[in-house]
Amino acid sequence: MADLNRQELNRRFKEVFSLLVERKEIIKNNRQKSKSVFARKIGTKGHIIELFLRDKRLITYEQAKLLCNEYGVNEAYMFQGIGRPFSTQRLPDPEDKLCMALGIDFSPNILFTSVEGFASNTVGVDLWEANQRFSIPGISGDLVAFYINGDSMSPTISAGDMVICSPIETNKEIREEEVYAVVSNTCVWVKRIQKCMDRYGRWTHLRLISDNHHEFDPFIIEVNEVRRILKVVKRVTGLS
């Protein structure tokens, strides 16, 4: 059975597709703007688009990313349902207006990457690529958000959850046993961490620990493999 996030992603795809038809970005039997041309731009074929529209098949995250790039779709909307399909800014509702009157800042301060962070595996990632930003009331600072795929951090973080992370500026900020996103040149892990010292008291390795320790053993990586460490400050679940 497909996960709920993919189902919601497909539902938003259908809404975006309908809007693109209204905007005449997709025109039946048009050589430049046909459904087949649209399909090729997002890495699939015309008959697969029909399956997406009929919920017989679900769009992938990679295809949704291409859709956003090719047609200017708001990634925060596409991947999270935040804001409007073709705007990086959301219009405040009455509750938002009250918050704004109380002085809450709605500047989009959270960088969303469509690359999934993996709690049980590794994935190629560049967290600092230009991407869409969004905001959540009460959460400030320069932050990064991505989805989790895997259950190694269950029950603390589940597959399909989004984690919002704050970059660590110095190693002194790191607190052992808390949850961090550890980024190497090619990979990211979301784990609890312990510092491993040599006999001279120098920090040389990190021990990465899963909360689901019955199924996932701890492992060690060298500190010189680490490019960035980010503190997981919030888990967002049930985005449907």
CATH of the domain at 13: 1.10.260
Residues 125 and 173 in one domain: yes
Residues 119 and 78 in one domain: no
Which domain does 46 fall in, by range? 4-85
Average pLDDT over residues 9-38: 92
For the stretch 160-180, what's the b/e string if a residue is b when 16 or more beta carbons lie within 10 angstroms of its beta carbon?
A: bbbbbbbbbeeeeebeeeebb
* Structural domain count, the chain: 2
CATH code for the domain in which residue 182 is found: 2.10.109.10
pTM, two decimal places = 0.52
Residue 96: inside a domain, yes or no?
no
> What confidence score (pLDDT) does residue 123 get?
40
Indicate whether 130 pLDDT > 70. no
Q: How far is CA 106 from CA 27, 34, 36, in A?
A: 37, 39, 39
Residue 99: inside a domain, yes or no?
no
Beta strands in the chain (DSSP E): 110-112, 133-134, 143-147, 162-167, 179-184, 188-197, 203-209, 219-222, 226-236
69: three-class secondary structure by DSSP: helix
For the stretch 133-144, what's the b/e string if a residue is b when 16 or more beta carbons lie within 10 angstroms of its beta carbon?
A: bbbbeebeeebb
**Residue 29: both structure tokens together:** 């039997």
What is the band of 162 on the pLDDT scale with cuts at 50, 70, 90? confident
> What confidence score (pLDDT) does residue 102 get?
44
Residues 80 and 115 in one domain: no
How far, in Å, CA of 134 to CA of 145, rounded?
10
48-52, 145-149, 178-182 — which is least confidently predicted?
Answer: 145-149
What is the band of 205 on the pLDDT scale with cuts at 50, 70, 90? very high
